[in-house]
Structure 1
Amino acid sequence: MAKKQDKLWHAMDSQRTLEALETSREQGLSGSEATARLNRYGRNELPEGKKSPAALKFVKHFNDVLIYILLVAAVIMALLGHWTDTIVIIIVAIVNAAIGFVQEHRAEQALEGIKNMLSPEAQVLRDSNPAAIEAAELVPGDIVLLNTGDRIPADLRLLSSSNLKVEESALTGESTSVEKQTEALEEDAPLGDRTNMVFSGTTVASGTGIGVAVATGGKTELGKINQSIASVEEIRTPLLQQTARFGKMVSVVIVAVAALMFGFGYGLRDYETGELLLSVIGLAVAAIPEGLPAILSIILAIGVQNMARRKAIVRNLPSVETLGAVSVICSDKTGTLTKNEMTVTSVVTSMHEYGVTGTGYAPEGEIIRDEDKVADPEQDRTLKHLLICGVTCNDSVLTEEQGQWKLQGDPTEGCLLTLAGKAQSEVTELKTRSKLPFDSEYKYMAVLTEYEGRSVIYIKGAPDRLFEMADRQAEDDGETPFDADFWNGQMQAHARKGQRVIGLAMKELPEDSSPEQIDHDDLKEGLVLLGLAGIVDPPRDEVVDAIRECQNAGIEVKMITGDHKETAMAIGEQLGIGDGKHSIEGRELDNLSAEELKEAAQKYSIFARTSPQNKLQLVEALQSSGNICAMTGDGVNDAPALKRADVGVAMGIKGTEVSKDASEMVLADDNFSTIVKAVKEGRRVYDNLKKTILFILPTNGAESFLIMASILLGTMIPLTPIQILWVNMVSSVTVSLALAFERIEPGAMKRPPRNPAAPLLSGYYIFRILFVSVLLGGGTLAMNMSMLSNGYEQAVVNTVTMQTIVLAQMFHLFNCRTELGPAIRKGFFDNKAVFVVSGLLVVLQLSITYLPFMNRVFGTVPIGLPYWSFPLLMGAALFVIIELEKAVTRGIIRRRHESVDASGNGDHSAAA
């Protein structure tokens, strides 16, 4: 019994299954044997995942090389007795960690969400007697009794099935409830085709059955998904990877330059060791963009709020930016690209073809006859009987709750109720005298009722079965012999369109006949075929436009579904995914090597009959080719791939809690087009993040330039470490915040996704940062040396120096509102936040200059009005020079584009 749970149970017949599990269908397990197996296999529960304590999560946010340098600086400042500086540095580090901790939201709840799917109890046979036991005590070999509405407690091999249908869409992606049977299947049957099995966490939609437990706990298909989610390695977003590389690079440069400056000052300049150490610490603090992590988090949080207003709920901050880099969206079909509401879209009788408008369960739409006329059942005898058959031979109930139509019962039956509701005249359900329930052996359902005083039997079922039974077909003015070739052709034509086809028929009993019961023998002759109904799970109305917009933005959309190949290709063609001719199934993917899988992931757009493992493998294969991959889905079967994807996107209304917990983003309106809005916001956020870096780093560069020049020249250090921290934080967290509200750049959704391997700072950005740093640092140094040579006090010089850097950055903020475009342009006043933060900055700078307690903490002094002239002139000059530089750069790029056009190459991106 050690490896019994690993067998291919679906490929074994019932008797062999019972023998392998050493159990009896009539008696079940004995109490003692059940206890022994419970000790052997463990409880029927999913394994607990390890959880990190909150304190450990908080401490992890200090694990950054730049923070290490900052903390070392704080320790040295404490040893030198500069306690105020030490406290301020530590506060800055704690604030950064706190922001990261608050925004962190891990997917640990995914495992809890799966546990909530498990059944609380099970009906089993123990010692030959039915017994209700706690589902956690179920063991392999238990005989389980199933009834309508039951949550299935374990993976079961069915021993008997009576009209048993199971809702498996959350696990397999199947859009309709699955009819079950008991015969053995082929070994390579995909999960969705294992009709002799039922799986833990799914629900009995109708009928009854008996099964033997073959897998419990972590060995079930649900358990495998649970294990897959827990073992999936979460990948870092492109932004986090870029900032990590950037942080390491900056830290190496800072440490190297600080060591060189200390060596130079100690060996070649007459500095006291303590004073020189203080200066070097000031240099390190100046070079560290300590406000950058905080401002990045704030900008991303603003992006989260913007997306929430557009119905996209982001659960992980960096995912906002990642959306802007997405190059492939892998989408589940059922409930994501489609409504997961079966809809009759066509009806065929022997004389007419009817199109049906409207989608979903809402009875809104029309039945159009022969493409040009609204059909009226009162004037169309065959259509009327077909509609009456659909609503009378039906066990489902359709209700409206707060504007939403909800179905209780089988989706295939529910859509027939909706069809009748779309008729121009009312179609009434007739009272049933006798019923033959649907049975998988017969593949039809029949009811005995009365129509216009005459007994009538209505039948609904599989078309091929009704074709075998019918000997006549209904026409406008009577009946004619059944035309098998015509109806087989119609069935195949609708199937090629991805439609599920259901047949409807009737039999009028003799006028003097009024039976109270019917049986299958009553249907052996006299059956009149009314027609066929073509049923689809319709695409969402807005999805076609959304997919087209994705493709215009260079984003490829792939459909990965558990549904059948033909259905997937037909729906895909309607949506603009694939060509309707090429697709690949999960069983084919299982036989591919890693390299072949990578090639197939790129080649195909439609992936059908996929397992949860297939979805995960495809996401990984696409990522291995350098794609930034988003995965959408709503079922439990999507959860591992959702977690592994760069951005997992779950459906908020119809999505399972498991899929939501495994994802980074939830669509509150289940609207695929919301993803496009989220991508647009992601690109805007990333552009604004780059503008923020372009704005912040020159402050650090200018301060570093000042301190290094002072050490090299042997002059007084122009700013203390605490003043440097003030400049850095006020520039970062106050002024640069305004850039988060800049609108999206023109053409942002017409360019391809950015290369995730590209460095955070391009060559042009490095040039701009160095250019501004030298301009600002050099100008401030000249002013600083002039004031010192004229005998001004060090505190006055420090105060004016600090004001110069801060106010010049305020002017530079307007340069950075566009990367290369002119600062003064149409829409200059659109971003009101720029003007608000500029006013706030002025207030802060006046406070640090004129409030006594601020003077004591930061070592500043009040200055007269004439001292403000240089900061203002420096800021205005910097603004004008950078605008001239941008104009020159635009001209160079334009000439390169013209050169590329003239050569006929057409690769504008290379020229840029």
Structure 2
Amino acid sequence: MGPSDRGSLTASPPRARRPPVDQPAEALDRPASLAGLSEQQAQARLKTDGFNELPRQEHRTPLAIVGEVLREPMLALLLVGGGIYLLLGDVQEALILLAFACASIAITTVQETRTERVLDALRDLTSPRALVIRDGTRRRIPGREVVRGDLIVLGEGDRVPADAVLVQAQDLLADESLLTGEAVAVRKSVATTVPPTARPGGDDLPFVYSGALIVRGSGLAEVHATGAASEIGRIGQSLRMLDTEPPRLRAQMARLTRLCAIGGSAVSALALILYGTLRGGWLDAVLAAITIGMSMLPEEFPVVLTVFMAMGAWRISRARVLTRRAASIETLGSATVLCTDKTGTLTENRMSIVELRPADNATIAPPTPLTALTPQAQALALHGLLASAPQPFDPMETAFHAFARTALPDTQLPSRAGWTLARTYGLRPDLLAVTQAWRPDAAKPACIIAAKGAPEAIAALCHLDDTRRTAIRQALDAMAAQGLRVLGIAKGAYEGEDFPETPHGFTLTFLGLVGIADPLRPSVPAAVRDCRTAGIRIMMITGDYPETARAIARAAGIDAGATVLTGDAIATLSQPDLQQRARTATVCARIMPEQKLRIVQALKADDAIVAMTGDGVNDAPSLKAAHIGIAMGGRGTDVAREAAAIVLLDDDFGSIVTAIRLGRRIYDNLRKAMGFIFAVHVPIAGLALLPLVLGDPIIFAPIHIAFLEMVIDPVCTLAFEAETEEDDIMRRPPRPPSEPLFSPPLIVWSLLQGLLVFILVGGIFMFATLRAMPADELRALTFVSLVLSIVSLILVNRSFSTSLVTAIRRPNATLVWILAMVVAVLAASVLAPPIRGLFRFGPLHWHDLALILAVAATVLIVLETAKIFWRDRLRF
């Protein structure tokens, strides 16, 4: 059955009024044998099978979140480092380090606690109610108390509480999109024999499934599976067998920190040996080695990672994107494939009328100004409304109501004109159409007849000849090629009180065809363009039909030129063959939940970094298996949100691009901070060892190290984190998955920066030593030159892709405040005698200051020039 008639039977009778709770089942005109379970039987089965609910992840309390944060190895290194400084007596450095650790813990805890609270608000804390028959009496009970064998009463607007088989049904339609991903409701019918079990999504099946929504009709069903044994429960159980993708960046950072710690220890050991050997004072040598070790301890690396991840989660939350696991931010910038569901993700998950084809075959694409609608188009709008339920639950009937309110004057709306519904003819297997008779005046027998349904059924009711049927079929094919759901509309009139037994007794006139679709979200085409420009391949994975999927992909701008990969084809492919097909596939249609998981696994096996969006229960396994699982917060289910790493609060596909953009920005700024940290420690290590080799006074005392840390720590954490994004951030391909954070090109660039500063500042130190400059003046000259050269390094590293002039124009209030404080403290240490004595500095003369400024300017000019010529080679 194609999109032309799939789900096309959408009209429904007026909702039946239900008897009050505890009214005997016989009052429902059902057989007396349908008395349901006894209360004793229900309680016994409840003890045996357990409650009708899915296993849920335990709620993460703030204390539990703090415990998880403290178990992070990077944060543990921070705390251990602070303890070591405290034992060494450097209280100031210890407090600074511990303050950063505590701030990181607080930021992460507050952010993740807020995420849990929002998820709790999204989650329905009360179990949905269920109407069951027990001991022959209707009772409303919590859904979690439904058991196998219960008879459940279903009506429009009810959520099915458990998997069940229908024993009675009247014009029943169910929305099973949570399980299938397909927005269109499916017809249900009663089985004449005991049927085999079937998967959700098919028409005329006798099964209803837990989580489905009844959008039309009524029925009675016997429960055969609850909780984890239900279709929705089996999907939840499969999540337990999947491991969350481990974060790669933390492993890289731990390895880098170990290497730097080894390097710092080697420098300290070398300082100890040189000092003790060349100067003979081994106690002083130990103190000097400890001081140098303090300057080389790589505590900035874990500080930067922890703060960047916590602040990144906060920044992304401002874009209405919740980060359930902060480590997922690191992966956003490297996503190469974005697997997206169609219904509710690319589309608005609401049906709307997008095309009208009146009987004269003129095509009209709403929305059209009211004055421009032809009388034929208005007749289609009116009679489509008249053939729909007065209070619709079905999304397509809701679309007819919404369109009629826009296209018709209020005086023509039945609800405003006081019309009454006199008779409804529901759909039957042999007539896939709904016909309704409306009486404009209760005192007169004249009725307006409206019919809506499958085009071939409407053609039969209108007794059209072969020529007209052929024309309708051609129009139908053209509309179906666009992925539209197509309904035929007819009108008629009837006089009298006695209505015919079937709609064939009316004389009906064919009015035309109506095309209905689930429209794209307005932000989707632009978001898809951004993803394609950024080198991210979009793959749409949907349970819908290929024609509909191809049409949506075309409208969204997704490359649909390749052959659509269907679920039936995937079922016949081995995993290596699927891996080969998945490399080029852009549209996957009629996909079952386990096939979504296979697709994600095939992409991962091909070294792709996979982001997966979804909102239904059927998406949960693939959300958890993907590198980045992105769930919809508004329409998403609890299972999907708990399986995902990221939750979109506004369900907007465009927010995914915002999150990817922020992820790339965070990763870029992280690399800038790492490069700066590595570069700045080269001259510090060199200047710590140079006086020992030359036999000159040591430059660095603990207060100098503390001052340097006051510059380095806030800059590499707060200032670089606040840097705005690069201009080409969404015009470059994703970084290779195997590329380390601290890549060889970045190491080369950092070494070049550090060596340049060491050569220039070390040259000043040696020149001043040869000129026999006093030790305190020598220390002041060298240290101030180093600090201002570090400021030059900060400015150079603000951007990899733009010039210094462009970078300076970018706002960064945090950096301005930090540099202002650095300059103020540095000026006080040189000009104010008490502070100058604390730093053991001598006075500096104007020519000394000129030399210092010349060194800082040289660092800036040389590195900016090198960045221009070597940017492509170093892959910045």
Verify same fold: TM over 0.5: yes
Question: Which letter maps to 1:634?
Answer: D
Compute the displacement of 1:561 (Å): 1.4
Residues 1:499 and 2:509 are matched in the alignment: no
Provide the residue aligned with 1:199 in structure 2: 209
User: What residue in structure 1 maps to residue 397 of structure 2?
Assistant: 413
In structure 1, how many angstroms separate the alpha carbons of the residues matched to 2:634 and 2:297? 45
Q: Is the CA contact 2:781–2:852 (under 8 Å) kept in the aligned structure 1?
A: no
Distance in structure 1 (CA, Å) of the matches to 2:320 and 2:725: 19
For 2:256, the equivalent position in structure 1 comes to 246
Verify the 8 A CA contact 2:781 2:844 in the aligned structure 1: no
Contact between 1:111 and 1:230, CA under 8 Å: does it hold in 2? Answer: no
Map 1:839-850 onto structure 2 (within 5 A): 839-845=820-826
On the 8 A contact 2:81/2:299 being kept in 1, the answer is no
Confirm or deny that 1:395 pairs with 2:383. no
Taking a change above 3 Å as real, the CA distance of residues 311 and 62 of structure 1, as seen in their structure-2 partners, is closer
Q: 1:260 to 1:97 in 2, by over 3 A?
A: farther
Q: SS where residue 824 of structure 1 aligns?
A: helix
SS at match of 1:570: helix
Alpha carbons of structure 1 residues 67 and 747: separation in structure 2 relative to 1, 3 Å: closer
Task: Find the counterpart in structure 2 of residue 637 from structure 1.
Answer: 618
| CA gap 1:836/1:111 in 2 versus in 1, 3 angstroms | closer
Q: Does the CA contact (< 8 Å) of 1:811 and 1:876 recur in 2? A: no
SS at match of 1:809: helix
Structure 1, residues 490-543: CA drift from partner, whole Å, max 9, x if none? Answer: 33332232111112223333xxx322x535335246333222211111223442
**Rounded Cα–Cα distance in structure 2 between residues aligned with 1:562 and 1:718:** 70
> Which digits, 9 at most, give the CA deviation of each residue in 1:260-318, with x for residues without a partner?
55566667763425x44443333333223423444455556665666566555555545
Shift, 1:556, TM fit: 0.9
Aligned partners of 2:428, 2:122: CA distance in 1, in Å?
31
* Cα deviations by residue, 1:531-562 (Å, 9 ceiling, x for unpaired): 22111112234422332332122111111112
Counterparts of 1:433 and 1:251 in 2: how far apart (Å)? Answer: 82
Q: Which residue of 2 aligns with 1:7?
A: none
Decide which of 694, 708, 711 is 1:730's aligned counterpart: 711
User: Which structure 2 residues correspond to residues 787-798 of structure 1 after superposition, within 5 A?
Assistant: none
Matched to 1:861, the amino acid is F
Contact kept? 1:388, 1:427, Cα under 8 Å:
no
Q: What is the aligned-residue identity percentage?
A: 30
**Shift, 1:446, TM fit:** 1.9
State the AA in 2 paired with 1:819: F
SS class of match (2:157): coil
1:723 is displaced (CA, Å) by 4.2
1:167 aligns with 2:175: yes
Task: Quote the Cα distance in structure 1 between the aligned partners of 2:265 and 2:424.
Answer: 84
Cα distance per residue 1:720-746 (max 9 Å; x no partner): 456424422432314764444544434
Residue 353 of structure 2, aligned match among 314, 337, 344: 344
1:521 counterpart = 2:502: yes
* Aligned mate of 1:434, from 398, 409, 422: 422
Task: Check 1:92–1:417 CA distance in 2 against 1; reply closer, same or farther (3 A cut).
Answer: closer
> 1: distance between equivalents of 2:625 and 2:703?
43
Aligned-partner SS, 1:619: helix
The reply to whether residue 354 of structure 1 matches residue 338 of structure 2 is no
CA contact (8 A) 1:821 1:886 kept: no
Instruction: Calculate the TM-score normalised by the size of structure 2.
Output: 0.83
Q: Secondary structure at the match of 1:603?
A: coil
Asked if 1:455 is matched to 2:443, the reply is: no
Aligned residue for 2:420, secondary structure, equals coil
Distance 1:177 1:248, change over 3 A: farther
Distance in 1, Cα, partners of 2:781 & 2:611 = 51
CA contact (8 A) 2:112 2:323 kept: no
Question: Which AA in structure 1 matches 2:394?
Answer: D
1:581 deviation in Å? 6.7
Note closer, same or farther for the CA distance 1:624–1:263 as it changes in structure 2 (3 Å cut): farther
Contact kept in structure 2, 1:385 and 1:530, CA below 8 Å: yes
Q: Which residue of 2 aligns with 1:14?
A: none
Q: How does 1:144-155 map to 2 (within 5 A)?
A: 144-155=152-163
Is this contact kept in 1: 2:167–2:221, CA < 8 A? yes
Select 1:215's aligned residue among 221, 225, 235.
225
Task: State how many pairs are aligned.
Answer: 834
Query: 1:238, 1:778 → 2: CA distance?
Result: 36
Q: Is the 8 A contact 1:344 1:415 kept in 2?
A: yes
Match of 1:157 among 159, 165, 183: 165
Q: Does the CA contact (< 8 Å) of 1:121 and 1:135 recur in 2?
A: yes
User: Could you tell me whether the CA contact under 8 Å between 2:540 and 2:588 is conserved in 1?
Assistant: yes
- Alignment check: 8 A CA contact 1:88 1:722 kept: no
Letter in structure 1 aligned against 2:461: M
Q: Where does 1:182-197 land on structure 2 (aligned, <5 Å)? A: 182-183=190-191, 190-193=199-202, 195-197=205-207
1:386 aligns with 2:375: no
Give the CA deviation at 1:339.
Answer: 1.9
**By how many angstroms is 1:142 displaced?**
2.2
Question: CA offset at residue 338 of structure 1?
Answer: 1.5
One-letter code of the match for 1:155?
D
User: What is the match of residue 627 of structure 1?
Assistant: 608
> 5+ residue gaps in structure 2?
1-31
For 1:558, the aligned partner's letter is: M
Q: Secondary structure at the match of 1:192?
A: coil
1:585 to 535, 542, 566: 566
Query: Matched residues in 2 for 1:186 and 1:831: separation?
Result: 68
What is the CA–CA distance in structure 1 between the aligned matches of 2:584 and 2:95, rounded to whole Å? 58
TM-score normalised according to structure 1 size? 0.80
* SS of equivalent to 2:221: strand
Deviates more, 1:48-57 or 1:167-176: 48-57
Residue 547 in structure 1 maps to residue 528 in structure 2: yes
- Give the C-alpha shift of residue 428 in structure 1: 1.4
| Paired amino acid for 1:606 | V
| Aligned Cα root-mean-square deviation (Å) | 4.1
Hey, what's the Cα distance between the residues in 1 that align with 2:353 and 2:108? 50
CA contact (8 A) 1:145 1:210 kept: yes
Is 1:290 aligned with 2:304? no
User: Residue 899 of structure 1 aligns with which residue?
Assistant: none
Change (3 A) 1:139 1:463: same
The one of 245, 265, 278 equivalent to 1:235 is: 245
Name the CA shift for 1:366/1:757 in 2 (closer, same or farther; >3 Å). Answer: same
**Contact 1:113 1:657 survives alignment (8 Å):** no
The equivalent of 2:11 in structure 1 is none
What's the counterpart of residue 484 of structure 1? 469
| Residues 571 and 267 (structure 1), Cα distance of their counterparts in 2 relative to 1, 3 Å cut | same
State which drifts further: 194-203 or 77-86.
77-86
**Could you tell me whether the CA contact under 8 Å between 1:356 and 1:367 is conserved in 2?**
no
Q: Does 1:181 align with 2:199?
A: no
CA distance in 2: counterparts of 1:670 and 1:410, whole angstroms: 21
Report the CA distance shift for 1:874/1:318 in structure 2 as closer, same or farther (over 3 A): farther
Q: Which amino acid aligns with 1:47?
A: P
Counterpart Cα distance in 2 of 1:869 and 1:314: 54
Change (3 A) 1:540 1:707: same
Partner of 1:9 in structure 2? none
C-alpha distance in 1, partners of 2:486/2:572? 32
Aligned mates of 2:239, 2:119 — CA distance in 1: 8
Letter in 2 for 1:448: A
Distance in 1 between residues matched to 2:194 and 2:628, nearest whole Å = 37
Query: Is the Cα–Cα contact under 8 Å of residues 25 and 143 in structure 1 kept in the other structure?
Result: no
State the partner residue of 1:443.
432
| 3-state SS, counterpart of residue 152 of structure 2 | strand
Distance 1:538 1:88, change over 3 A: closer
- Is the 2:489–2:512 Cα contact (8 Å) retained in structure 1? yes
State the distance in 1 between where 2:126 and 2:232 align. Answer: 9
- Cα–Cα, structure 1 residues 56 and 447, in superposed 2: closer, same or farther, change >3 Å? closer
**Which of 276, 289, 296 does residue 280 from structure 1 map onto?**
289
SS in structure 1 opposite 2:496? coil
What is the letter of the counterpart of residue 348 of structure 1? Answer: R
**Match for 1:40 among 38, 48, 71?**
48
Q: Aligned partners of 1:118 and 1:66: how far apart in 2?
A: 40
Task: Note closer, same or farther for the CA distance 1:351–1:554 as it changes in structure 2 (3 Å cut).
Answer: same
1:393 touches 1:446 (CA, 8 Å); kept in 2?
Answer: yes
Aligned partners of 1:467 and 1:848: how far apart in 2?
Answer: 94
Corresponding position: 1:880 with 2:865: no
Give 1:705-720 correspondences, 5 Å limit: 705-710=686-691, 717-720=698-701
- Call closer, same or farther: CA 1:77–1:551 in 2, change over 3 Å: closer
